[in-house]
């Protein structure tokens, strides 16, 4: 029997709360914000389906001060989710080689965000236009 006796150190339980993993944890939690948005929309649709009164309650709650604060936080979280999503995008793709040089990942992220911004703006315009016309 040799002296060898490897010692197994446990992974710190709260690794996700410490540097350098905090940024990752925040990013993952921002995904929860997307889910919460979805849930709020779903509740709204349900109320709409239930009828005028239910929907009126829904709209009153939406118009409250608390709701405004919650939505502001959710919006920030979702925007962060979008930004970090595009930051990961180049990691999920093979290296893009243009004219013999690798396209820097920052540029891929920037282009992705730009396209997302343009599409969002276009969608907003369309929605507002439809709303105005009806």
Partner 1 sequence: MSDTIASSKTIELRVLRYRPASDAEPVFVSYRVPYTDDMSVLQALQSIKDTQDGSLSFRWSCRMAICGSCGMMINGEPKLACNTFVRDLTPNAAVIEPLQNFPIERDLVVTVGDFVKKIESIYPYLMPKVPKPIEDGTYLQTPAQMTSYESFSDCINCMLCYAACPQFGANPDFIGPGAMALLQRYNGDSRDGGQQFRLDRIHGEDGVWACTAVGVCSEVCPKQVDPANAINQNKTNSALDFFLRYVRREQP
Partner 2 sequence: MDHFDADILILGAGGAGLRAAIAAAQSAPESTIALVSKVYPMRSHTVAAEGGSAGVVQDHDSLDNHFNDTVAGGDWLCEQDVVEYFVEHCTPEMVQLEHWGCPWSRKPDGHINVRAFGGMKIERTWFAADRSGFHILHTLFQTSTRFPSIRRFDEHFCVDLLTEDGRAQGAVVLSLSTGEFAAIHARAVVIATGGAGRVFRQNTNGGIVTGDGMALAYRHGVPLRDMEFVQYHPTCLPGTGILITEACRGEGAFLLNKDGNRYLQDYGLGPAEAKPRNKYMELGPRDRLSQAFWHEQRKGRTLTTPQGEAVLLDLRHIGSARIKERLPLICDLAKQFMGVDATTMPIPVRPAVHYTMGGILVDIRTASPLAGLFAAGECSSVGIHGANRLGSNSLAELSVFGRVAGEQAALFARGSSAARRSDQAADVAAKALALLDQKGAGERHAVLRAEMGASMEKGCGIYRLGPEMQNTCDTLAELRKRYAGITLEDKSRAWNTDWITAIELGFQLDVAQAMAHSGLARTESRGAHQRLDGFEQRDDANFLRHSLAHYRSADTPHITYAPVTITKSPPGQRAYGALGEHEEAASKDVSPKGGRPPAPKDPAHV
Chain-centre distance for alpha carbon 113: 13
Binding footprint of partner 2, residue count (CB under 8 A): 4
From 1-9, 28-36, 76-84, 122-130, give the range in contact with partner 2 by CB under 8 A. Answer: 1-9
Closer residue to partner 1 in complex, CB, 9/52: 9
4 binds partner 2 (CB under 8 A): yes
The string over 50-80, giving b where at least 16 C-beta atoms fall within 10 Å of a residue's C-beta and e elsewhere, is eeeeebeebeeeeeeeeeeeeeeebeebbee
Closer residue to partner 1 in complex, CB, 58/84: 84
Which parts of this chain interact with partner 2 (CB under 8 A)?
Answer: 2-5
């Amino acid at each position: 029997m040799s002296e060898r006796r490897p010692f197994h150190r446990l992974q710190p339980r709260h690794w996700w709360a410490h540097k350098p993993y905090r940024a990752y944890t925040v990013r993952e939690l921002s995904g929860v914000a997307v889910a919460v948005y979805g849930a709020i929309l779903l509740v709204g649709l349900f109320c709409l389906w239930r009828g005028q009164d239910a929907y009126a309650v829904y709209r009153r709650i939406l118009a409250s001060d608390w709701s405004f604060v919650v939505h502001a936080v959710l919006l920030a979280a979702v925007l962060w989710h979008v930004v970090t999503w595009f930051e990961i995008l180049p990691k999920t793709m093979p290296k893009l080689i243009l004219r013999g040089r690798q396209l820097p990942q920052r540029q891929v992220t920037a282009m992705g965000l730009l396209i997302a911004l343009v599409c969002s703006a276009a969608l907003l315009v369309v929605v507002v236009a439809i709303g105005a016309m009806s």
